[in-house]
Amino acid sequence: MDLLITIVSFVIVLGVLVFIHELGHYWVARRNGIVVEEFGMGYPPRLIKLFTYNGTDFTINLIPFGGFARMRGEDGADMAQGSFNAASRWARASTLIAGPFMNAVLAIILFGASFMAGFPAAVAYPQITTVASDSPAMQLGLQPGDVLLRAAEQPTLVSTDPALRYDVWTATDATAATTLTVSRQGEWVEIPVTSQAVVGELLKTIAYVPVLDTQITAIAPDSPAETQGIRAGDIVYQVGDTVVAFDGNPLNETVGQNVGREVPVKLLRDGEWVTVNVTPRVDPPDGQGALGIQITATSQLATLPFLESMWQGVKSTTQYVTLVLRLPFMLFSGEIEPADAQLSGPVAIADMIGGAVSATIDTGLWFPIWRLSAILSAALAVTNLLPLPALDGGRLLFILIETLRGRRINPEREGLVHMVGFMLLLGLMVYITVQDLRTGGANIDWHTLLGQ
């Protein structure tokens, strides 16, 4: 069943991404007077011709790993009216750019959909630093140093992402009487609240810092953390006298300052404070760290409204494209290891899509499939613009050379270069696929990411 889900979801997701890409080529080519002889999903041999529209055959082909919009004279010396080669430089360039552009637009939409569908937002609890006079906080008797933990028995969470400053209060009844739970100098204090609306106004009237944003997800066997009873799920508040925070005092740095000596670690566990004394190791085993723990940012599912989601879609697409373009420089500088930048072929991509679809089925949350599809669409846009023969970027490179030298390169020679380039790309794809089969590829733990 899992294999069937993987195969079907891979064909559908890849089919949508490729269809949008080729639709961009098709539409702009037609606008520029270039005849599109065939719009095919999959690669030949042809299985069936669906219909013919304005001289274009729309077909389904046997190999379901791509698609094409075959334009008249695209890889030959045909200079007749309506051929790709007979079109102006601008017409050819815009036709080539249209495919990657459509994938970039689709990536923005899909990233935006992931923000609207419910995404894992990095969150923390607010610790009050200042209480203004005559504010709701003062009326409730709150004091600097108080950590707001619960309202109406629900966590009082705030965003730690400076780009997404939304509140993630999970108590929703604005009229029912409730109780605000705070931690004050290590003691629990229950404060009666007559209106949930007062709670909703607190963050607007207090100055606070986010704390408790570091959660332990795994413990290594025989590590100091296991020996002293630290558990997966614990949220770290303090190491020694230092309050831990991702954007201020990250846990690894704070622990690193105390290696070889016993230090108290204060944790929030199941709504209670727990303090353990632990000695971080000076020379831990590879991959374990001084305490022998794995950590992640504390997260809570959240949503954004439509316009904000689309803006975050633009930013996410831009960040991903920038990362891909920076990748060669990061490898050269040693910023990342070659193993961390391994290329993925159809097998690995199919596994990732199958995992995302399975996670969506298991959790009922659409975030995994929207987010992964957005990443793949952005990757398709960037990859096709690389200046390699047979890719859109390689054809654009020939147009640039033509512009600089003032005359066309022989279309037959250009076509030969693209044909050779296509064969080399196929060979690379076969090699990557063999590597994927040997290593098993890489998968994303969507359930942990979503906190499920």
Kindly tell me the burial class for residue 15, based on how many C-beta atoms sit within 10 Å of its own C-beta (0-12, 13-18, 19 or more). Answer: middle
Dihedral (CA of 387, 390, 392, 397) sign: positive
DSSP-assigned letters across all residues of 306-350: HHHHHHHHHHHHHHHHHHHHHHHHHHHHTSS-GGGG----HHHHH
Kindly tell me the burial class for residue 287, based on how many C-beta atoms sit within 10 Å of its own C-beta (0-12, 13-18, 19 or more). Answer: exposed
The confidence score (pLDDT) of residue 81 equals 84
Are 184 and 226 found together in one domain? no
Residue 283 is given by DSSP the state S
Torsion (CA) 85, 68, 327, 318 in degrees, nearest 10: 90
Domain contains 345? no
- Output the 3-class SS for 141-170: CCCCCCEEEEECCEEEEEECCCCCCCEEEC
Residue 252 is given by DSSP the state H
The domain tally of the chain equals 3
Domain contains 129? yes
Quick one: which H or E segment has residue 128? Answer: strand 119-131
How far, in Å, CA of 111 to CA of 107, rounded?
A: 6
For residue 259, give the CATH number of its domain. Answer: 2.30.42.10
Are 126 and 145 found together in one domain? yes
Are 177 and 243 found together in one domain? no
| Residue range of the domain that includes 48 | 2-117+350-449
73 near 79, Cβ under 8 Å?
yes
- Which segments in the chain show pLDDT lower than 70? 1, 75-78, 162-177, 194-200, 331, 334, 336-343, 436, 440-442, 451-452
How far, in Å, CA of 127 to CA of 146, rounded?
A: 6
Dihedral (CA of 304, 5, 425, 100) sign: negative
Are 127 and 204 found together in one domain? yes
The confidence score (pLDDT) of residue 346 equals 79
Are 230 and 205 found together in one domain? no
φ, ψ for residue 85 (rounded to 5)? -65, -25
